[in-house]
A and B are shown apart, each in its own frame.
Chain A
């Protein structure tokens, strides 16, 4: 079946360190979205990437979509305690309305 994988599953960093999570799909994606879910909260949309090789930045967050549109990454520079949460990628395959969520990377930031 259609699968979207993410690594790592967990990441513990010291405040100020960088963090990267990687998303891989077994199928070419039409586009990819990233969401953040705080503990006990709901997914909150961060960004959408559509074009092959696209790179977008939001302050300390950098999002990248691979050339083959099968992988994506989210990089956080100089993490802060407010970055704590689970980061999910969600890929859309073909013309479907459904976004397939990856299992998420849970980020802990130690002060």
Chain B
């Protein structure tokens, strides 16, 4: 069964450092998303990406965040200067069309110390 893969599974970083979280969406999917989930809390939408550009973003997705699809397979989330409150599980997801089921990756647990 096709799956979304994310690396690394766990990232520990010092406050103020830049991190890049990587995702490989399902190959024939067209829409890509990043969500985050603070431990024990709900899944929060960060950004959606379609046709090589951001299509929607939430209030959480401020200037410290950026996304890229550098080649035909990878989809990355960069946080420029991490804060303690960025500590969370970050999930990448992809869909074939806008209104279809989202396939989530296993997540990257980001810990900012």
Q: List residues of A whose CB falls within 8 A of some B CB.
A: 31, 33, 35, 37, 41-45, 48, 88, 90, 92, 96-104
Residues of B within 8 A of A103 (CB): 41-42
A17 shortest CB reach to chain B, Å: 24
Residues of A within 8 A of B48 (CB): 97-98
Residues of A within 8 A of B101 (CB): 33, 45, 48
The count of chain B contact residues (Cβ–Cβ below 8 Å) is 24
Q: List residues of B whose CB falls within 8 A of some A CB.
A: 31, 33, 35, 41-45, 48, 50, 55-56, 58, 91, 98-107
The B interface is mostly helix, strand or loop, or mixed, namely strand
> Given A31-B99, A43-B91, A92-B99, A101 and B45 touching (CB < 8 A)?
yes
B18 shortest CB reach to chain A, Å: 25
- Do B41 and A97 touch (CB < 8 A)? no
Extra 6 A-B pairs, beta carbons < 8 Å, given A42-B107, A88-B42, A101-B35? A43-B102, A43-B104, A45-B103, A88-B43, A97-B48, A101-B44
Chain A residue nearest to B98 (CB atoms) is: A97
Chain B residue nearest to A92 (CB atoms) is: B99
